Each structure stands twice: as C-alpha cells, then as structure tokens.
C-alpha cells in the first residue's frame, strides 16, 4: 500500500507506534487474556491506565499540584455548555466574558447564553476572523466568572501567541486543536479544555484541566456527568467512562515523552509550519488565509487563484496520498492540519506537491 499522509482536522492521525501498540494489545491487554475495552472501568488494571495518563500529562506540562485533570464525556462541544453551568455562579451577576476569534469561539459563546450573562468583549468577525482581535483590559469586568477564548482557531488557522492579561478573572481556554502542541504555562489558566480527537486520541471525550479553587460553584441543575466538582471527587469515574479513549491518551502521552517531550515537539511543529508557509509566501499563487502575525502552527490555511484550481489541487493531492486537505465549509480553500503526530516527511511531501502544482499551473 502506498504512503498516505492524513492532514485531517479531526479526527486526526494518531502516531503510528500508538496504532501498532493498540493492535498488539487489542485481544490481550497486559497479559489478562481479554481486551482493555472488555474490562471494568473500576478494575485496578484500568485505574492504573487512568493514573498513568494523568501522571504523564502532569509530567509533560509541569502542571501545578493545585489543578485537577478530568476526563468528561462529549468532547469540547459539550464543554461549551458545561463551562457556564460550572463557573457562572462565581459571578454575582453570572457574567461570563468571551472573545470571538473564529467559528468555534462563536459557537462557544452562543451555547453559553442559556446559562449566563454572556458578554463578547472582543471579536474579529469584521475581518472574517483572518486575525485575532485585540482585548481591551478596560472591558474585563473584575466581577466576571471567567474570560473565555479559543487558543487556536482550527477553521481559520489563527493562534494566540500571547494571551491577554485577565487580572483576577480566571482565563479559560479551549485548546482542542493545539493541546500539547507547544509548551504553555498552565498556571496562566483557570481552566483548559480540549476534545481528544486532534492531538490526544479518539473523538467523543474531552480533557478538562481545572484549578482547585474553581470547583464547587456548579449550578444545582447541572447534569451529574457535566459537573466538574463531582468528576474531580469521582476521579472521572462517576459512571462507565470511555476506557478506550483514556487508554489511547495514555499511549499518545507515552509517545510524546519518548519523542523528547514538549520542547522537542514544539520545535518540530514550528519547523513543519514554517516549511508550508515558505511555500505559500514564495509567490502569488497561494494566498494564506490568516494574518502573518497570527498564523497557527497546527492548521495552515490557504487558497488558490480560482475555484477550479482549488478543485484540481485537492483531487491531485488526494491521488498523491495527501488526504483530507479540503478547508472547512465556513472558509473553503485548503487546510493542512499538522498536529503532533504528523512527521516532517509528511509535511515535506505536501510542500513539494504544492511547489510542483504551482509550477505547472501558475
């Protein structure tokens, strides 16, 4: 079978060694004679998997001890509602602040409206989210429950390089499309959440990292399985959890440690992105969708001169083993998602294809 490079935005590629390990252990996990997906979520064998996943995340990130690591059902989209249910009560007026920098940031603030007094204090909708908005410190209400932003906008290919200073208001970030793609100081955040399906594992579950002092404020009507305090008390085992997803997360984190940790992975991610941006900037054939100063190292977005050329590009790329490059329906164009598992060889294959396509059609 010829090599296929998966540039899908999510669910995305997993590291090949992780896929091999899953296959090796599928029918016989840890010498038990049964698969991991067949054992109890309350067994000591699965508890060891869960504990190791949390320990590895803490080790890789340097996460302070006053943060809890939770696995919550439903992916990042579920957290759009769970977040205000859990935190809005910290504010006397249930005020929650949002920065609208892209498609999912907009959905996040929209989904919070039934549960909080949502205030959008900055937006880049006026430039179709090609750049990140400036956050005016004067608009940050010190009585707000939190300030929410999406740290990497996967649809438009923008990424926050510096986060706004929110003062005493907890900064909450949706890091779904960049979690562990670069080293970040987690003590800057009150809460971080991320769907697993881009940099951590399979779809259908979210990782939530929450500071201890933000627990205990959930609304009484918060569904049990979305209550962060209860999840922390129950070690993410309030009910039968997605054992397979957590197992894969553990394997991915092991792979990251074997790669050399976050500093090595970040350097490689920056190298991958720089290679593609050099091709985009080399002439007028390709046009980047994101402002240069806000470009993402996870999602590289660009367009071609005509819709016909874009269609031809995508068709020929697919035939060449460059999979899932079509841009999101909200933007169109081409999107190369180059998350942690994407190797330099895959990016080089795409870069060379882009250069050759431009030579033939420019």
Report the C-alpha gap between 72 and 202 in whole angstroms.
Answer: 13
Query: What local confidence, expressed as pLDDT, does residue 51 receive?
Result: 99
Say which CATH number the domain at 330 has.
Answer: 3.90.1150.10
In a 13 Å sphere around the CA of 313, the CA atoms on its Cβ side amount to 32
- For residues 25, 48, 80, 96, the Cα torsion angle rounded to the nearest 10 degrees is -160
Q: Is the domain of 253 the same as that of 304?
A: no
Query: What residue has token string 């922390």?
Result: 232
Assigned token pair, 69: 């690591």
Residue 139 within any structural domain of the chain = yes
Q: Is the domain of 191 the same as that of 321?
A: no
Annotated binding site for pyridoxal 5'-phosphate: 76-77, 104, 154, 174, 197, 239-240
Assigned token pair, 291: 């402002």
Q: Residues 207, 179: contact at Cβ < 8 Å?
A: yes
Rounded to two decimals, the pTM is 0.97
Annotated binding site for L-glutamate: 42
Query: For the CA atoms of the chain, what is the radius of gyration?
Result: 21
What φ, ψ does residue 256 adopt, rounded to 5°?
-60, -40
Residue where one domain finishes, among candidates 259, 292, 313: 259
- Residue 95 CA to its chain's centroid (Å): 25
Query: What residue has token string 């933000």?
Result: 214
Residue 5 within any structural domain of the chain = no
Q: Is the domain of 294 the same as that of 251?
A: no
Q: Is the domain of 251 the same as that of 264?
A: no
Q: What are the tens digits of pLDDT across the range 228-245?
A: 999 999 999 999 999 999
Contacts of 59 (CB under 8 A, 6+ apart): 257
Q: Is the domain of 218 the same as that of 269?
A: no
Residue where one domain finishes, among candidates 259, 288, 306: 259
Query: What local confidence, expressed as pLDDT, does residue 161 receive?
Result: 97
Say which CATH number the domain at 210 has.
Answer: 3.40.640.10
Query: What local confidence, expressed as pLDDT, does residue 42 receive?
Result: 98
Query: What local confidence, expressed as pLDDT, does residue 1 receive?
Result: 65
Q: Is the domain of 81 the same as that of 215?
A: yes
- The structural domain count of the chain equals 2
Burial class (CB in 10 A: 0-12, 13-18, 19+), 116: buried
Q: Is the domain of 169 the same as that of 233?
A: yes
Q: Is the domain of 111 the same as that of 193?
A: yes
Q: What is the mean pLDDT of the chain?
A: 98
Annotated binding site: 42, 76-77, 104, 154, 174, 197, 239-240
Residue span of the structural domain in which 334 resides: 260-361
Q: Is the domain of 315 the same as that of 353?
A: yes
Contacts of 295 (CB under 8 A, 6+ apart): 157, 158, 159, 273, 277, 288
Taking each helix axis from N to C end, the angle separating 75-87 and 103-112, rounded to the nearest 10 degrees, works out to: 40
Taking each helix axis from N to C end, the angle separating 243-259 and 262-281, rounded to the nearest 10 degrees, works out to: 80
Report the C-alpha gap between 190 and 211 in whole angstroms.
Answer: 5
Report the C-alpha gap between 62 and 51 in whole angstroms.
Answer: 16
Residue 1 within any structural domain of the chain = no
Q: Is the domain of 303 the same as that of 217?
A: no
Q: Which residues of the chain have pLDDT under 70?
A: 1
Report the C-alpha gap between 304 and 87 in whole angstroms.
Answer: 43
Report the C-alpha gap between 361 and 310 in whole angstroms.
Answer: 11
């Amino acid at each position: 079978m010829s090599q296929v490079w998966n540039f899908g935005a999510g669910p995305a590629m997993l590291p090949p060694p992780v896929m091999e390990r899953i296959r090796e252990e599928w029918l016989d996990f840890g010498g038990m004679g049964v698969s991991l997906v067949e054992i109890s979520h309350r067994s000591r064998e699965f508890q060891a998997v869960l504990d190791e996943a949390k320990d590895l995340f803490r080790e890789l990130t340097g996460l302070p001890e006053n943060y809890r690591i939770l696995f919550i059902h439903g992916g990042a989209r579920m957290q759009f509602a769970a977040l205000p249910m859990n935190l809005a009560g910290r504010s006397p007026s249930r005020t929650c602040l949002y920065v609208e920098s892209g498609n999912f940031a907009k959905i996040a603030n929209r989904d919070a409206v039934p549960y909080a007094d949502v205030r959008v204090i900055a937006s880049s909708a006026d430039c179709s989210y090609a750049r990140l908005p400036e956050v005016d410190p004067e608009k940050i209400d010190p009585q707000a429950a939190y300030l929410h932003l999406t740290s990497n906008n996967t649809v438009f290919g923008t990424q926050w390089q510096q986060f706004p200073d929110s003062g005493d208001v907890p900064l909450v970030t949706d890091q779904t499309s960049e979690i562990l793609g670069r080293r970040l100081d987690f003590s800057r955040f009150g809460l971080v959440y991320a769907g697993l399906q881009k940099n951590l594992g399979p779809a259908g579950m979210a990782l939530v990292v929450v500071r201890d002092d933000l627990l205990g404020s959930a609304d009484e009507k918060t569904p049990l399985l979305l209550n962060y305090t209860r999840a922390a008390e129950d070690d993410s085992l309030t009910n039968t959890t997605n054992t397979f997803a957590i197992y894969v997360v553990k394997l991915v984190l092991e792979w990251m440690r074997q790669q050399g940790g976050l500093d090595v992975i970040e350097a490689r991610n920056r190298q991958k992105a720089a290679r593609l941006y050099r091709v985009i900037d080399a002439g007028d054939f390709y046009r980047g969708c994101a402002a240069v100063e806000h470009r993402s190292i996870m999602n590289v977005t660009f367009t071609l001169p005509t819709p016909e050329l874009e269609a031809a590009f995508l068709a020929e790329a697919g035939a060449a083993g460059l999979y899932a490059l079509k841009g999101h329906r909200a933007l169109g164009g081409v999107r190369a998602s180059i998350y942690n598992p994407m190797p330099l060889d895959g990016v080089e294959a795409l870069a060379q294809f882009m250069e050759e396509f431009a030579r033939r059609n420019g």
